[in-house]
């Protein structure tokens, strides 16, 4: 790929020259729609995440550009889709492709911002810590070690969960929050601040202090709504992504389904506490009234729906995300929009909000019309890619999936919110499939490397909290 360095002045400044807003850029790993405001699970408790998104505009039909950490983050931070970069999976290296691309953090650095990054922003934690990428890169914050024993007994790497003998302050995300609060309060004010904080949890393993497990008694846990034999009308390519003979079979055999759901809810609750601490720190800082907040989770997560666990699929549970933007003077508190958007929309939006030029390679549509009026007409659709040739398109009503072998799925969310009935082969659906299919690429570059097509976390067990 040739270096993408040309810029074009497309942005309309929101703030007057010399008074650019600060940006608090919050990334979260592996959080699906199990937040109170999205209603993904009836027992989830996220008062602080709800408090954050209520400050601005929540996007209730937002989707990742890819249902895996590496390609999702690469697409969001570069403004380039997987089929443009070849970064399709966690096994496709991103560093070589993005080394000459004006990523979001480089763009803000080049335009006079102090850029501070810590936690998980890119999938390769330290690759973007170079001097040309950040004013200062803090990297990961050390957390608790993974247990030598497998707490679930499933023997599947860090696909593991259970209470640990630790304090919240021992956790890496707690330390990351302390770091962010310190910079919000004390970073020099002679330059605008772009502060990127990447939370690790609720990424596996779901090891959280016992006090959080006490909030969700196991006997009361409700499993996700599922349908028996849900994969019967799914093509072979989709069944292969689901891998029902893997994680789900192990969970059922080990009688761990309720415990897994409990642990995910518990870990989200721990994350929510950190978000509350962060918001309080922002409110106590001199940057309170001029800080844009960009909140995003890198993809969704399955917990047994369609006999699948983790991300790495093209159904709603894997692609739907929690996303919100708080822009003082632009967004109205408590506003929501159901417009279908994806993460290629974020880069041009924050450029427009801060008055920065939009790099020439960034082709996504700005969300500014929806920030000003959540009911504004929106022609866009969300497109998600998992591996070369495999794509999903989501609009306000439909999800259309087309796999590399040409097989298809089509779901009507107005009647089938759980995507139980594949209508792709039904009569009268050709026009809908053609309309949605028009958003798919006609050409796709090769993957940057063969890589691990099965995704992350299924190999050798790591010893640190990631």
Cα separation of 428 and 423, whole Å? 10
Structural domain includes residue 462? no
Which CATH number characterizes residue 263's domain?
3.40.720.10
Residues of the domain holding 275: 20-382
Cα separation of 250 and 241, whole Å? 16
List, for residues 161-208, the tens digit of each pLDDT value: 999 999 999 999 999 999 999 999 999 989 999 999 999 999 999 999
Structural domain includes residue 417? no
Cα separation of 246 and 237, whole Å? 15
Among candidate residues 63, 123, 302, 361, the one labeled active-site is: 123
Among candidate residues 41, 63, 64, 69, the one labeled active-site is: 69
Examine the residue annotation and report whether 64 is marked as an active-site residue of this protein: no
Going by their DSSP bridges, the two strands 114-119 and 341-342 should be labelled as: unpaired
Contact between 153 and 147 under an 8 Å Cβ cutoff? The reply is: no
CA Rg value for the chain: 21
List, for residues 301-358, the tens digit of each pLDDT value: 999 999 999 999 999 999 999 999 999 999 999 999 999 999 999 999 999 999 999 9
Cα separation of 344 and 76, whole Å? 6
- Non-local CB neighbours of 415 within 8 Å, separated by 6+ positions: none
40, HSE (Cβ side, Cα atoms, 13 Å): 27
- State whether residue 348 is helix, strand or coil: helix
Contact between 47 and 389 under an 8 Å Cβ cutoff? The reply is: no
Structural domain includes residue 89? yes
Burial class (CB in 10 A: 0-12, 13-18, 19+), 171: buried
Whether the per-residue pLDDT at 461 is higher than 50: the answer is no
List, for residues 101-152, the tens digit of each pLDDT value: 999 999 999 999 999 999 999 997 555 667 779 999 999 999 988 775 668 9
Structural domain includes residue 11? no
- In the sheet where 136-139 sits, what is the strand order? 136-139, 114-119, 193-199, 22-28, 291-297, 323-326, 57-59, 335-337
Structural domain includes residue 401? no
List, for residues 276-310, the tens digit of each pLDDT value: 999 999 999 999 999 999 999 999 999 999 999 99
List, for residues 39-92, the tens digit of each pLDDT value: 999 999 999 999 999 999 999 999 999 999 999 999 999 999 999 999 999 999
Q: Which residues pair with 199 in a beta bridge?
A: 28
Whether the per-residue pLDDT at 5 is higher than 70: the answer is no
Structural domain includes residue 436? no
Cα separation of 168 and 306, whole Å? 34
- At CA 257, angle to CA 252 and CA 259, rounded to 5? 135
Structural domain includes residue 142? yes
Number of structural domains (the chain) is: 1
**Phi/psi at 411 (nearest 5 deg)?**
-130, 140
Structural domain includes residue 444? no
Examine the residue annotation and report whether 15 is marked as an active-site residue of this protein: no
Instruction: Give, for 173, the enclosing helix (H) or strand (E).
Output: helix 172-186
pLDDT for the residue 147: 72
pLDDT for the residue 158: 85
């Amino acid at each position: 790929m040739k270096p993408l360095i040309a810029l074009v002045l497309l942005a309309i400044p929101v703030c007057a020259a010399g008074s650019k807003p600060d940006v608090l850029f919050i990334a979260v790993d592996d959080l699906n729609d199990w937040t109170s405001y999205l209603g993904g699970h009836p027992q989830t408790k996220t008062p602080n995440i709800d408090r954050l998104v209520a400050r601005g505009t929540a996007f209730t039909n937002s989707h990742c550009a890819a249902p895996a950490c590496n390609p999702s983050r690469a697409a969001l931070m570069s403004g380039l889709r997987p089929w443009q970069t070849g970064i399709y999976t966690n096994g496709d290296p991103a560093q070589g492709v993005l080394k000459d691309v004006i990523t979001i953090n480089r763009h803000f650095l080049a335009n006079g911002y102090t850029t501070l990054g810590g936690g998980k922003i890119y999938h390769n934690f330290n690759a973007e810590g170079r001097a040309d990428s950040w004013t200062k890169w803090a990297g990961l914050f050390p957390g608790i070690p993974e247990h030598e024993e497998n707490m679930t007994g499933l023997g599947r790497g860090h696909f593991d969960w259970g209470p640990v003998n630790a304090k919240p302050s021992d956790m890496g995300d707690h330390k990351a929050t302390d770091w962010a609060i310190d910079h919000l309060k004390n970073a020099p004010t002679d330059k605008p601040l772009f502060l990127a904080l990447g939370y690790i949890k609720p990424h596996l393993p779901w090891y959280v202090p016992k006090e959080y497990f006490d909030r969700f008694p196991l006997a009361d846990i409700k499993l996700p709504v599922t349908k028996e034999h849900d994969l019967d009308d799914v093509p072979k390519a989709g069944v292969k992504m689901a891998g029902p003979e893997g994680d789900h079979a192990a969970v059922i055999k080990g009688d761990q389904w309720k415990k897994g759901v409990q642990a995910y809810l518990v870990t989200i609750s721990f994350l929510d506490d950190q978000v509350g601490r962060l918001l309080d720190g922002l409110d106590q800082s001199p940057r309170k009234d001029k800080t844009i907040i960009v909140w995003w989770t890198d993809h969704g997560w399955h917990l047994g729906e369609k006999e699948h666990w983790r991300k790495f699929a093209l159904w709603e549970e894997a692609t739907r995300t929690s996303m919100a933007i708080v822009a003082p003077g632009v967004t109205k508190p408590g506003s929501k929009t159901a417009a279908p958007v994806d993460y290629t929309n974020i880069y041009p939006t924050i450029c427009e909000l801060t008055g920065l030029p939009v790099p020439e390679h960034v082709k996504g549509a700005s969300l500014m019309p929806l920030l000003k009026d959540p009911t504004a007409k929106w022609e866009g659709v969300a497109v998600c890619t998992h591996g070369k040739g495999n794509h999903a398109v989501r609009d306000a009503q439909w999800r259309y999936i087309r796999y590399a072998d040409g097989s298809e799925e089509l779901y009507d969310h107005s009647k089938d919110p759980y995507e139980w009935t594949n209508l792709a082969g039904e009569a009268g659906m050709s026009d809908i499939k053609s309309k949605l299919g028009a958003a798919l690429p006609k050409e796709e570059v090769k993957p940057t490397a063969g890589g691990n097509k099965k995704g992350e976390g299924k190999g050798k067990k790591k010893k640190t909290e990631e």
